[in-house]
Amino acid sequence: MNILVCIKQVPGTNKVEVDEETGVLKRDGVSSKMNPYDLYAIETALRIREKTGGTITAVTMGPSQAQDVIKEAYMMGVDEGYIFSDRRFAGADVLATSYTLSMGIRAIGEFDLILCGKQTTDGDTGQVGPALAEYLEIPHVIWVKGIEEVDENSITVEQDMADCTAIVRLSYPCLITVDKDIAQPRLPSYKKKLKTRNRPVKIMSFDDFADKNEDNYGLSGSATKVERIFPPDSNDDHIMFEGTGEKLSREIYDILVKNKIV
């Protein structure tokens, strides 16, 4: 069975602020990590491979340092990894990101099952998975919280639907996005680290893709455009209180009484 996992590198912290005076974004440090939700996708892929055999390929689109997440995936047990990296991919929204991923995946080969994380902690939309499925013309199920059964032709999953849980069967090829808590991700192992130290991360750029129209990638291929960024609104009429705990708790109490809460 050919399994593919889409993973992304995200900022390690989310302390980004707008400098009120200059309007410039300030980001503390540049540490980054694998999108935590994608660890669940990798773990799910590893458990499926234990049952069915086959290979797991991990792919990511991003700057060259995003290779680190592929290395990390190797240390968890992933067989092969690709990074799609090119300046022409920069500034991509959901449409362009999923398109680039779809072009890269098509260039690698055919896959039975594609796994994505439920969402990222920086983009946070959870849209890339379904959009990618649309480009690849395969069905998808989101928010999978359990795998019931896998066989040669299909996978049966448990889907979280807010007010109900559904047991759903999909035949391959298909895409699922997995929720946190589906299975505790294993830690990268030192033994695997040694073993995979020299395993290369294959790099693919624009030139390796079949569609050679630059306008379909990155900012040019994006349908949405950020017109402006600004600090969040603040509430104009706020009253501040300071003092001892006794004073403050009394004042809160008075507000609760005034608002007929107590």
Partner 1 sequence: MLSINHNRCDLCGECIKACPFGALTIKDERVEISAACRMCRICLKKCPNKALLAADGIRKTADKSNWKGVLVFAEHMEGRIHPVTLELIGKANELGAKIDHPVYCIFIGHGITEKARELLNYGVDKIFVYDHEEFACFREDLYSNAFEDCIKKSKPSIVLVGATAVGRSLAPRLSTRFRTGLTADCTVLDVKENSDLIQIRPAFGGNIMAQIVTESSRPQFATVRYKVMEKARFIDNFSEKLTASEISEKIEICRLPGSKMKSKIEILKVMPKEKEVSISDAEIIVAGGRGFKDKKDLEMLEEMASLLGGQTAVTRPLVEAGWAPYTKQIGLSGRTVRPRLIITCGISGAVQFTACMNTSECIIAINNDKNAPIFQAAHYGFIGDLYEILPLLCDEIRKREIRNAV
Ligand X SMILES: Cc1cc2nc3c(=O)[nH]c(=O)nc-3n(C[C@H](O)[C@H](O)[C@H](O)COP(=O)(O)OP(=O)(O)OC[C@H]3O[C@@H](n4cnc5c(N)ncnc54)[C@H](O)[C@@H]3O)c2cc1C
CB-closest chain residue to ligand AMP = 117
Exposed / middle / buried, residue 60 (Cβ in 10 Å: 0-12, 13-18, 19+): buried
Query: Which stretch of DSSP H or E encloses residue 200?
Result: none
Q: Which two tokens stand for residue 49?
A: 């491979």
The backbone region for 53, taken as left when phi is positive above 0, alpha when psi lies in -120 to 50, beta otherwise, is left
Min dist. Cβ of residue 160 to ligand AMP (A)? 16
Min dist. Cβ of residue 146 to ligand X (A)? 24
- Told to check if 130 binds ligand AMP by CB under 6 A, we report no
Strand partners, 140: 175
Question: Chain centroid to CA 70: how far?
Answer: 14
- Told to check if 182 binds partner 1 by CB under 8 A, we report no
Residue of 237, 239, 254, 221 whose CA lies nearest to 96: 221
- Told to check if 212 binds partner 1 by CB under 8 A, we report no
User: How far apart are alpha carbons 101 and 84 in whole angstroms?
Assistant: 8
| Site pattern 15..54 for partner 1 (x: CB under 8 A) | xxxx----xxxxx--x------------------------
Min dist. Cβ of residue 190 to ligand X (A)? 31
In the chain, the amino acid numbered 15 is K
| Site pattern 2..41 for ligand AMP (x: CB under 6 A) | ----xxx--------------------------x-xx--x
Using CB under 6 A, list all residues that contact ligand AMP: 6-8, 35, 37-38, 41, 60-62, 97, 101, 116-117, 119-120, 123-129
